[in-house]
C-alpha cells in the first residue's frame, strides 16, 4: 500500500527579496497562525545562493512547514507516511491551505514560476525486480540501487509545463521499521515567461492537477 510522504507547493518571485523574513508574519497570520512553533531565522550571508531558505516555520505537530528564501517560498504538508486511504483527507487539507498561502503571497509579490510536488513511498521487498519489470529490458533484478527520471512536456490553463517523474529504489522507516521499497517524486512546474501568474489560474490548475497524484496513478508507475 502506498505511503504519502509529503505534498509541496513552491512559488518563485519575479524579483529576489533582500528581506524574505518580512513575509513571515503575514504568511502565518493569513493561514490562521498555522505555524505555531518557534520560527528559525538563519544568519545566511547575502552572497549565499538565493534558493537557500532564510526563514523556516513549522507547526508544533510538524505537519506543516513553510520555508522562505530570497528567490522562492515553499509550503509543505507532511504526510508522515500515512496510508493511501488518507489521500482524500490530505488532498482537501492541502487544497484549503494552498488557497490561503497563494492568496497572501500573490498579494505581496509577483510570481513567475511554481512547482507542485508530491513524494510517495511504496513498500516493496523486491523493488529492483518491480522496476526492472516495468521499465527495463536488462537484468537488474539484483541491483542495489536503480534511479529513473523522465520529463514529459504538456500545457494546461495557459501554462507550458514540465512533468518530471523520479522513481528510485529506497529504504524508508515506517512504523519504526526499515522498509525496502520505491520512492516516487512527481514534480509539475511551469516554464516561466515574462507574464505574471494570476492567482485564480494557479489555484484552478492545482485543483485540476491533484488527481494525477492520486494512489492509483502513483501505483501505476511501478505496477
pLDDT at residue 134 is higher than 70: yes
Quote the pLDDT of residue 127. 87
Q: What is the pLDDT of residues 177-192, one digit of tens each?
A: 788 999 999 999 999 9
pTM of the model: 0.94
Q: What is the pLDDT of residues 138-163, one digit of tens each?
A: 666 666 788 999 999 999 999 999 99
Rounded distance between C-alpha atoms, residue 30 and residue 41, angstroms: 19
Quote the pLDDT of residue 142. 63
Rounded distance between C-alpha atoms, residue 108 and residue 152, angstroms: 32
pLDDT at residue 196 is higher than 70: yes
Per-residue pLDDT, averaged over 73-92, amounts to 96
Instruction: Choose among 67, 88, 49: nearest CA to 11.
Output: 67
> Are the C-beta atoms of 143 and 39 separated by less than 8 Å?
no
Identify the bridge partners of residue 168 per DSSP, sorted by sequence position: 147, 183
Rounded distance between C-alpha atoms, residue 187 and residue 8, angstroms: 9
Quote the pLDDT of residue 137. 67
Quote the pLDDT of residue 60. 97
Quote the pLDDT of residue 140. 64
For the chain, the domains span 3-219
Per-residue pLDDT, averaged over 213-222, amounts to 93
Quote the pLDDT of residue 126. 87
Amino acid at each position: 500500500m502506498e505511503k504519502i510522504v509529503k505534498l509541496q507547493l513552491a512559488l518563485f518571485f519575479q524579483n529576489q527579496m533582500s528581506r524574505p523574513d518580512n513575509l513571515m508574519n503575514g504568511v502565518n497570520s493569513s493561514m490562521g497562525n498555522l505555524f505555531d512553533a518557534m520560527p528559525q531565522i538563519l544568519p545566511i550571508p547575502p552572497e549565499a545562493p538565493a534558493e537557500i531558505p532564510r526563514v523556516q516555520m513549522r507547526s508544533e505537530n510538524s505537519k506543516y512547514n513553510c520555508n522562505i528564501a530570497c528567490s522562492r517560498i515553499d509550503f509543505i504538508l507532511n504526510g508522515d507516511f500515512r496510508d493511501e486511504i488518507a489521500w482524500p483527507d490530505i488532498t482537501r487539507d492541502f487544497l484549503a491551505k494552498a488557497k490561503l498561502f497563494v492568496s497572501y503571497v500573490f498579494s505581496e509579490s509577483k510570481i513567475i514560476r511554481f512547482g507542485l510536488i508530491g513524494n510517495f513511498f511504496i513498500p516493496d521487498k523486491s523493488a529492483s525486480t518491480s522496476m526492472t519489470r516495468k521499465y527495463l529490458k536488462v537484468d537488474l533484478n539484483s541491483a542495489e540501487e536503480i534511479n529513473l527520471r523522465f520529463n514529459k512536456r504538456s500545457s494546461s490553463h495557459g501554462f507550458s509545463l514540465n512533468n518530471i517523474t523520479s522513481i528510485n529504489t529506497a529504504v524508508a522507516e515506517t512504523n519504526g521499521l526499515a522498509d525496502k521499497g520505491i520512492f516516487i517524486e512527481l514534480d509539475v512546474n511551469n516554464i516561466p515567461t515574462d507574464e505574471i501568474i494570476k492567482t485564480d489560474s494557479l489555484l484552478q490548475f492545482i485543483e485540476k492537477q491533484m488527481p494525477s497524484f492520486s494512489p492509483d496513478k502513483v501505483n501505476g508507475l511501478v505496477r
